[in-house]
Amino acid sequence: DIQMTQSPSSLSAAVGDRVTISCRASQFISSYLNWYQQKPGKAPKVLIYGASSLHSGVPSRFRGSGSGTDFTLTISSLQPEDFATYYCQQSYSNLKYTFGQGTKLEI
Amino acid sequence: EVQLVESGGGLVQPGGSLRLSCAASGLSFSIYAMSWVRQAPGKGLEWVSAISGSDGGTYYADSVKGRFTISRDHSTNTLYLQMNSLRAEDTAVYYCANVGPQYYFNYWGQGTVVTVSS
């Protein structure tokens, strides 16, 4: 199975900061990379799909980039509602869509 | 409005069985693949299993292969996860999710809690 590795595991930042979260796949996955946001006690929500496409309704301060094995999620100006845990997910392997271990973004 | 509603979770002893259900509404259930994802207490998301919408092909994480069985009933728009030989490490919130046409999980249920303990 394809392994996904995120860094860092946790991150402290302030409102207005620009933050970057990295995700690396254990093998080539083209642009089949998604990003999710999860808040405590809630189901995850998709932010970015296909490495760089913004899901409907997601603010433009979220940006995804990368291809092949290395990917990045950037939040350009943190808002209070952005403090959450973020997961990358590969969707290259036929329906075996594995996740990274998550990055907890804290104030 | 799309809704995915899980049920069937609960407390079960090690070695026991449970069957989870996910009732889908507001989407073309027969067309798209569906998946189960779990989250152990305080841990990250773990992909568990998926079933194709077209040919019914099934896929499992190594951690559950041979113990869990995913299935779907197109007549009732319901997804299932039969879990046998349960272990303490299967304790988690189990979510069902719809796999959209662009290969991401676009709809999720609210989750159902499975606790494996004696």
Selecting from B47, B108, B109 the residue whose C-beta is nearest the C-beta of A96 gives B47
Selecting from A91, A94, A100 the residue whose C-beta is nearest the C-beta of B104 gives A91
- What is the tens place of the pLDDT at every residue in B68-117? 999 999 999 999 999 999 999 999 999 999 998 889 999 999 999 999 99
- What is the tens place of the pLDDT at every residue in B3-12? 999 999 999 9
E strand intervals along B2-111: 3-7, 10-12, 18-25, 34-39, 45-51, 58-60, 68-73, 78-83, 92-99, 105-108
Mean pLDDT of A31-44: 97
- Residue B87's CB is within 10 A of a number of other CB atoms, namely 13
Residue B15 or residue B29, greater confidence: B15
Cβ neighbourhood burial of A73 (10 Å; 0-12, 13-18, 19+): buried
User: Has residue B56 got a pLDDT over 90?
Assistant: no
Q: Please answer yes or no on whether B105 and A98 come within 8 Å at the CB atom.
A: no
